[in-house]
Structure 1
Protein backbone atom coordinates (compact mmCIF):
# COMPACT_ATOMS: atom_id res chain seq x y z
CA UNK A 1 0.00 0.00 0.00
CA UNK A 2 1.04 3.58 -0.58
CA UNK A 3 -0.03 6.81 1.12
CA UNK A 4 -0.01 10.23 -0.50
CA UNK A 5 -1.70 13.61 -0.48
CA UNK A 6 -5.16 13.55 -2.03
CA UNK A 7 -5.72 15.46 -5.27
CA UNK A 8 -8.90 16.68 -6.89
CA UNK A 9 -8.87 13.69 -9.26
CA UNK A 10 -9.44 11.48 -6.17
CA UNK A 11 -12.80 13.08 -5.41
CA UNK A 12 -14.95 10.22 -6.74
CA UNK A 13 -13.20 7.61 -4.59
CA UNK A 14 -13.05 9.99 -1.61
CA UNK A 15 -16.77 10.67 -1.91
CA UNK A 16 -17.54 6.96 -1.53
CA UNK A 17 -15.19 6.67 1.46
CA UNK A 18 -16.48 9.82 3.16
CA UNK A 19 -20.06 8.64 2.73
CA UNK A 20 -19.07 5.28 4.28
CA UNK A 21 -17.33 7.08 7.12
CA UNK A 22 -20.44 9.10 7.87
CA UNK A 23 -22.59 5.96 7.80
CA UNK A 24 -20.18 4.38 10.31
CA UNK A 25 -21.17 7.24 12.60
CA UNK A 26 -24.86 6.55 11.97
CA UNK A 27 -25.45 9.38 9.52
CA UNK A 28 -27.70 8.81 6.52
CA UNK A 29 -25.99 8.12 3.22
CA UNK A 30 -25.68 11.31 1.17
CA UNK A 31 -23.01 11.04 -1.52
CA UNK A 32 -23.92 14.44 -3.00
CA UNK A 33 -23.38 16.21 0.32
CA UNK A 34 -20.15 14.26 0.90
CA UNK A 35 -18.85 15.32 -2.51
CA UNK A 36 -19.83 18.94 -1.91
CA UNK A 37 -18.04 18.88 1.45
CA UNK A 38 -14.88 17.53 -0.19
CA UNK A 39 -15.09 20.09 -3.00
CA UNK A 40 -15.19 22.79 -0.32
CA UNK A 41 -12.09 21.37 1.40
CA UNK A 42 -10.15 21.28 -1.86
CA UNK A 43 -11.41 24.72 -2.84
CA UNK A 44 -10.64 26.38 0.48
CA UNK A 45 -7.52 24.36 1.21
CA UNK A 46 -8.49 24.29 4.87
CA UNK A 47 -7.60 20.66 5.54
CA UNK A 48 -4.99 18.11 4.62
CA UNK A 49 -6.33 14.86 3.18
CA UNK A 50 -4.09 11.84 2.77
CA UNK A 51 -5.19 8.68 0.98
CA UNK A 52 -3.97 5.11 0.87
CA UNK A 53 -3.87 3.07 -2.30
CA UNK A 54 -3.71 -0.68 -2.62
CA UNK A 55 -1.30 -2.44 -4.99
CA UNK A 56 -3.68 -1.83 -7.91
CA UNK A 57 -3.96 1.90 -7.27
CA UNK A 58 -7.43 1.73 -5.71
CA UNK A 59 -7.97 4.30 -2.95
CA UNK A 60 -9.04 2.33 0.11
CA UNK A 61 -8.69 4.78 3.00
CA UNK A 62 -8.20 8.38 4.01
CA UNK A 63 -7.23 10.58 6.90
CA UNK A 64 -8.17 14.26 7.21
CA UNK A 65 -6.40 16.84 9.34
CA UNK A 66 -7.50 20.35 10.23
CA UNK A 67 -4.84 22.91 11.21
CA UNK A 68 -5.35 24.85 14.42
CA UNK A 69 -3.45 26.68 17.10
CA UNK A 70 -2.85 26.25 20.81
CA UNK A 71 -2.89 29.45 22.85
CA UNK A 72 -1.53 27.66 25.90
CA UNK A 73 1.23 25.94 23.95
CA UNK A 74 1.86 28.92 21.65
CA UNK A 75 2.18 26.53 18.74
CA UNK A 76 0.37 24.66 16.01
CA UNK A 77 -1.97 21.82 16.89
CA UNK A 78 -3.73 19.84 14.20
CA UNK A 79 -6.94 17.89 14.71
CA UNK A 80 -6.97 14.47 13.12
CA UNK A 81 -10.69 14.59 12.53
CA UNK A 82 -11.26 11.66 10.22
CA UNK A 83 -9.72 8.25 9.65
CA UNK A 84 -11.56 5.72 7.57
CA UNK A 85 -10.53 2.50 5.86
CA UNK A 86 -12.76 0.58 3.49
CA UNK A 87 -13.90 -2.74 4.92
CA UNK A 88 -11.97 -4.65 2.25
CA UNK A 89 -8.69 -3.09 3.44
CA UNK A 90 -9.16 -3.41 7.19
CA UNK A 91 -6.68 -5.53 9.10
CA UNK A 92 -3.99 -4.99 6.44
CA UNK A 93 -2.16 -2.08 8.05
CA UNK A 94 -3.92 0.63 6.06
CA UNK A 95 -5.09 2.62 9.08
CA UNK A 96 -1.65 2.34 10.64
CA UNK A 97 0.01 3.59 7.45
CA UNK A 98 -2.38 6.54 7.25
CA UNK A 99 -1.79 7.45 10.90
CA UNK A 100 1.98 7.32 10.40
CA UNK A 101 1.69 9.45 7.26
CA UNK A 102 -0.37 11.99 9.21
CA UNK A 103 2.34 12.16 11.86
CA UNK A 104 5.03 12.59 9.23
CA UNK A 105 3.10 15.39 7.52
CA UNK A 106 2.68 17.15 10.87
CA UNK A 107 6.43 16.88 11.55
CA UNK A 108 7.19 18.32 8.11
CA UNK A 109 4.97 21.31 8.93
CA UNK A 110 6.49 21.86 12.38
CA UNK A 111 3.27 20.94 14.18
CA UNK A 112 3.76 20.40 17.90
CA UNK A 113 0.78 18.11 18.54
CA UNK A 114 -1.92 16.08 16.87
CA UNK A 115 -5.22 15.60 18.68
CA UNK A 116 -8.20 13.40 17.95
CA UNK A 117 -11.45 12.19 19.43
CA UNK A 118 -13.04 8.82 18.93
CA UNK A 119 -16.17 7.18 20.18
CA UNK A 120 -15.86 5.51 23.56
CA UNK A 121 -17.08 2.25 22.00
CA UNK A 122 -14.60 2.29 19.08
CA UNK A 123 -12.13 -0.02 20.79
CA UNK A 124 -10.49 -1.16 17.55
CA UNK A 125 -9.48 2.42 16.74
CA UNK A 126 -8.35 3.01 20.32
CA UNK A 127 -6.04 -0.01 20.14
CA UNK A 128 -4.54 1.33 16.91
CA UNK A 129 -3.96 4.81 18.33
CA UNK A 130 -2.42 3.53 21.54
CA UNK A 131 -0.16 1.10 19.64
CA UNK A 132 1.21 4.14 17.78
CA UNK A 133 2.00 6.03 20.99
CA UNK A 134 -1.12 8.20 21.23
CA UNK A 135 -2.10 8.85 24.83
CA UNK A 136 -5.63 9.10 26.12
CA UNK A 137 -6.30 12.53 27.54
CA UNK A 138 -7.58 12.21 31.09
CA UNK A 139 -6.97 15.85 32.07
CA UNK A 140 -9.78 17.46 30.10
CA UNK A 141 -13.42 16.79 29.37
CA UNK A 142 -14.77 17.19 25.87
CA UNK A 143 -17.91 19.31 25.50
CA UNK A 144 -20.16 19.94 22.51
CA UNK A 145 -22.61 22.72 21.74
CA UNK A 146 -24.89 22.36 18.75
CA UNK A 147 -25.49 25.73 17.11
CA UNK A 148 -28.73 25.81 15.17
Structure 2
Protein backbone atom coordinates (compact mmCIF):
# COMPACT_ATOMS: atom_id res chain seq x y z
CA UNK A 1 0.00 0.00 0.00
CA UNK A 2 1.30 3.44 -1.00
CA UNK A 3 1.12 6.32 1.43
CA UNK A 4 2.29 9.91 0.99
CA UNK A 5 2.50 11.91 4.21
CA UNK A 6 4.40 14.66 5.96
CA UNK A 7 7.69 13.52 7.48
CA UNK A 8 8.04 13.45 11.26
CA UNK A 9 10.99 13.29 13.58
CA UNK A 10 10.31 9.55 13.96
CA UNK A 11 11.15 9.08 10.27
CA UNK A 12 14.72 10.31 10.70
CA UNK A 13 16.60 6.98 10.54
CA UNK A 14 14.94 5.84 7.28
CA UNK A 15 14.73 9.36 5.85
CA UNK A 16 18.44 9.95 6.47
CA UNK A 17 19.22 6.73 4.56
CA UNK A 18 17.13 7.95 1.61
CA UNK A 19 18.67 11.43 1.77
CA UNK A 20 22.11 9.84 1.75
CA UNK A 21 21.18 7.75 -1.33
CA UNK A 22 19.96 10.97 -2.97
CA UNK A 23 23.26 12.73 -2.27
CA UNK A 24 25.29 9.77 -3.56
CA UNK A 25 23.13 9.77 -6.71
CA UNK A 26 24.36 13.35 -7.24
CA UNK A 27 27.99 12.30 -6.77
CA UNK A 28 28.39 13.50 -3.19
CA UNK A 29 30.10 11.44 -0.52
CA UNK A 30 28.03 9.26 1.78
CA UNK A 31 27.50 10.71 5.25
CA UNK A 32 24.40 9.36 6.98
CA UNK A 33 25.04 11.13 10.34
CA UNK A 34 25.28 14.49 8.54
CA UNK A 35 22.12 13.68 6.57
CA UNK A 36 20.27 12.92 9.78
CA UNK A 37 21.51 16.15 11.39
CA UNK A 38 20.44 18.28 8.43
CA UNK A 39 17.02 16.67 8.21
CA UNK A 40 16.46 16.91 11.96
CA UNK A 41 17.21 20.64 11.79
CA UNK A 42 14.80 21.11 8.86
CA UNK A 43 12.01 19.29 10.68
CA UNK A 44 12.57 20.97 14.07
CA UNK A 45 13.00 24.47 12.65
CA UNK A 46 10.15 23.96 10.16
CA UNK A 47 12.16 25.74 7.49
CA UNK A 48 11.26 23.21 4.82
CA UNK A 49 8.37 20.88 4.12
CA UNK A 50 9.26 17.22 3.68
CA UNK A 51 6.84 14.59 2.46
CA UNK A 52 7.66 10.90 2.37
CA UNK A 53 6.44 8.00 0.27
CA UNK A 54 5.84 4.85 2.24
CA UNK A 55 5.27 1.29 1.05
CA UNK A 56 4.55 -1.57 3.45
CA UNK A 57 5.95 0.45 6.37
CA UNK A 58 9.21 1.38 4.63
CA UNK A 59 10.09 4.85 3.41
CA UNK A 60 10.89 4.64 -0.30
CA UNK A 61 11.06 8.29 -1.38
CA UNK A 62 10.75 11.91 -0.37
CA UNK A 63 10.27 15.43 -1.64
CA UNK A 64 11.60 18.52 0.14
CA UNK A 65 10.38 22.04 -0.55
CA UNK A 66 11.68 25.36 0.72
CA UNK A 67 9.61 28.56 0.94
CA UNK A 68 10.51 31.53 -1.25
CA UNK A 69 8.75 34.82 -1.77
CA UNK A 70 8.04 36.68 -5.02
CA UNK A 71 8.02 40.42 -4.46
CA UNK A 72 6.41 41.09 -7.83
CA UNK A 73 3.64 38.57 -7.31
CA UNK A 74 3.34 39.37 -3.60
CA UNK A 75 3.00 35.67 -2.92
CA UNK A 76 4.98 32.73 -1.70
CA UNK A 77 6.59 30.27 -4.06
CA UNK A 78 7.87 26.84 -3.12
CA UNK A 79 11.24 25.61 -4.31
CA UNK A 80 11.10 21.89 -5.00
CA UNK A 81 14.71 21.31 -4.05
CA UNK A 82 14.88 17.55 -3.55
CA UNK A 83 12.92 14.66 -5.04
CA UNK A 84 14.12 11.09 -4.70
CA UNK A 85 12.71 7.59 -4.93
CA UNK A 86 14.79 4.53 -4.09
CA UNK A 87 15.83 2.75 -7.28
CA UNK A 88 13.87 -0.40 -6.34
CA UNK A 89 10.62 1.60 -6.38
CA UNK A 90 11.12 3.78 -9.45
CA UNK A 91 8.50 3.47 -12.14
CA UNK A 92 5.80 2.76 -9.55
CA UNK A 93 4.29 6.25 -9.52
CA UNK A 94 5.84 7.43 -6.26
CA UNK A 95 7.53 10.47 -7.87
CA UNK A 96 4.26 11.66 -9.37
CA UNK A 97 2.44 11.17 -6.06
CA UNK A 98 5.12 13.14 -4.20
CA UNK A 99 4.83 15.93 -6.78
CA UNK A 100 1.06 15.93 -6.39
CA UNK A 101 1.51 16.34 -2.62
CA UNK A 102 3.84 19.27 -3.33
CA UNK A 103 1.16 20.84 -5.52
CA UNK A 104 -1.38 20.41 -2.73
CA UNK A 105 1.00 22.24 -0.39
CA UNK A 106 1.24 25.09 -2.89
CA UNK A 107 -2.54 25.28 -3.19
CA UNK A 108 -3.16 25.09 0.55
CA UNK A 109 -0.67 27.89 1.23
CA UNK A 110 -2.04 30.04 -1.61
CA UNK A 111 1.39 30.04 -3.23
CA UNK A 112 1.98 31.38 -6.72
CA UNK A 113 3.50 28.05 -7.70
CA UNK A 114 6.44 25.69 -7.44
CA UNK A 115 9.87 26.27 -8.93
CA UNK A 116 12.50 23.64 -9.60
CA UNK A 117 15.62 23.10 -11.59
CA UNK A 118 17.09 19.96 -13.04
CA UNK A 119 20.04 19.19 -15.25
CA UNK A 120 19.62 19.18 -19.00
CA UNK A 121 21.00 15.63 -18.97
CA UNK A 122 18.39 14.39 -16.45
CA UNK A 123 16.31 12.50 -19.01
CA UNK A 124 13.96 11.01 -16.41
CA UNK A 125 13.28 14.35 -14.71
CA UNK A 126 12.91 16.17 -18.00
CA UNK A 127 10.11 13.75 -18.92
CA UNK A 128 8.60 13.55 -15.43
CA UNK A 129 8.15 17.26 -14.70
CA UNK A 130 6.28 18.18 -17.92
CA UNK A 131 4.08 15.11 -17.44
CA UNK A 132 3.13 16.60 -14.04
CA UNK A 133 2.21 19.99 -15.52
CA UNK A 134 5.51 21.85 -15.12
CA UNK A 135 6.65 24.07 -17.97
CA UNK A 136 10.16 25.15 -18.89
CA UNK A 137 10.48 28.83 -18.09
CA UNK A 138 12.97 30.16 -20.60
CA UNK A 139 12.17 33.87 -20.36
CA UNK A 140 14.95 34.53 -17.86
CA UNK A 141 18.59 33.60 -17.46
CA UNK A 142 19.51 31.61 -14.40
CA UNK A 143 22.76 32.74 -12.76
CA UNK A 144 24.70 31.41 -9.83
CA UNK A 145 27.33 32.94 -7.60
CA UNK A 146 29.20 30.64 -5.25
CA UNK A 147 31.34 31.52 -2.28
CA UNK A 148 34.29 29.23 -2.81
TM more than 0.5: yes
The count of residues paired between Structure 1 and Structure 2 equals: 147
After TM superposition, give the deviation of residue 12 of structure 1 in Å.
0.5
Rounded to whole Å, the distance in 1 between the matches of 2:128 and 2:15 is 22
**Structure 1 runs not aligned, ≥5 long:** none
Moved over 6 A (4+): none
After TM superposition, give the deviation of residue 137 of structure 1 in Å.
1.2
**Structure 2 runs not aligned, ≥5 long:** none
Length-normalised TM-score, structure 2: 0.96
Aligned-partner SS, 1:51: strand
After TM superposition, give the deviation of residue 140 of structure 1 in Å.
1.4
After TM superposition, give the deviation of residue 44 of structure 1 in Å.
1.0
Residue 49 (structure 2) pairs with residue 9 (structure 1): no
Partner of residue 71, structure 1: 71
Length-normalised TM-score, structure 1: 0.96
After TM superposition, give the deviation of residue 105 of structure 1 in Å.
1.4
Rounded to whole Å, the distance in 1 between the matches of 2:14 and 2:144 is 31
Aligned-partner SS, 2:120: coil
After TM superposition, give the deviation of residue 86 of structure 1 in Å.
0.3
Rounded to whole Å, the distance in 2 between the matches of 1:43 and 1:147 is 27
Rounded to whole Å, the distance in 1 between the matches of 2:9 and 2:38 is 13
Partner of residue 23, structure 1: 24
Aligned-residue Cα RMSD (Å) equals: 0.9
